[in-house]
A and B are shown apart, each in its own frame.
Chain A
């Protein structure tokens, strides 16, 4: 039987919660015995997705961000969801160096980081409704526990 686990949390879209979110995911994933590199990759991807929800999804408003993790065998699936303003053009947003807020000195590399550090990224977004980012990564060294 393959190992399965699940967790979900919600938190306010405050920038202080960026580090909180990545530490939560790192702790949850640690049961799979990831390498230091895998853990750093996952933390960075989570940080990017949560930052997007905070800066772009909700702008300056404090609303809830939802973070969900699922472990299926050696694979971790992380979902970050907001009910903010949504992304106008997902393909454009995923382009390296594209940023809708150049005045904030953002690098426009958020989606590129997520795509590079995780195996697969699924972005669902609807204008005025919100954005859901699902990130999937198979851990190479993970033990497949009962």
Chain B
């Protein structure tokens, strides 16, 4: 899994490139948390344009980051989901706490 970061105002955008499973989850979690802690971040957007696979490990990663961001008074969004990832998030009821957007720009404008 490759991660690309972008900080716009107080929002951290993470572009995930690859497959998110139990194996890659730890590294993803650590890298995002490091950014959140070091860069005065409020909101977080997961840009999933290039995420080719995700299993339930991804739910844990997103909910874990939500807990962190929520404590900081911010919001979490996901953008550019493929139907499969959408299905998993829906099953987990994740949209009760996290906003879904069609594009990264829409997420940035509305968080």
Say whether chain B's binding surface is mostly helix, strand, loop, or mixed.
Answer: helix
In the complex, are the beta carbons of A48 and B60 less than 8 A apart?
Answer: no
In the complex, are the beta carbons of B22 and A107 less than 8 A apart?
Answer: no
Partner of B59, one of A22, A37, A104, A109: A109
Chain A: interface size category: 20 to 34
* Docked complex Cα distance between A106 and B22 (Å): 9
Q: Which of A18, A104, A109, A112 has the most CB of B within 10 A?
A: A109
Is B23 in the interface zone, CB < 8 Å from A? yes
Distance in Å: Cβ of B54 to nearest Cβ of chain A = 8
Distance in Å: Cβ of B49 to nearest Cβ of chain A = 17
Interfacial residues of chain B within 57-90, with CB under 8 A of chain A in the complex: 57, 59-61, 63-64, 83-84, 88
Partner of B84, one of A40, A51, A105: A40
In the complex, are the beta carbons of A112 and B23 less than 8 A apart?
Answer: no
Q: Which residues of B contact A54 (CB under 8 A)?
A: 22
Q: Which residues of A contact B88 (CB under 8 A)?
A: 44, 113
Is A121 in the interface zone, CB < 8 Å from B? no
Is A84 in the interface zone, CB < 8 Å from B? no
Give chain B's interface residues, CB within 8 Å of chain A. 19, 21-23, 25, 29, 53-57, 59-61, 63-64, 83-84, 88, 91-92
Beyond the given pairs A18-B23, A47-B55, A113-B55, 8 more chain A to chain B contacts, judged by CB atoms under 8 angstroms and listed by A's residue number, are A18-B22, A54-B22, A55-B22, A105-B29, A107-B59, A107-B92, A112-B56, A112-B91
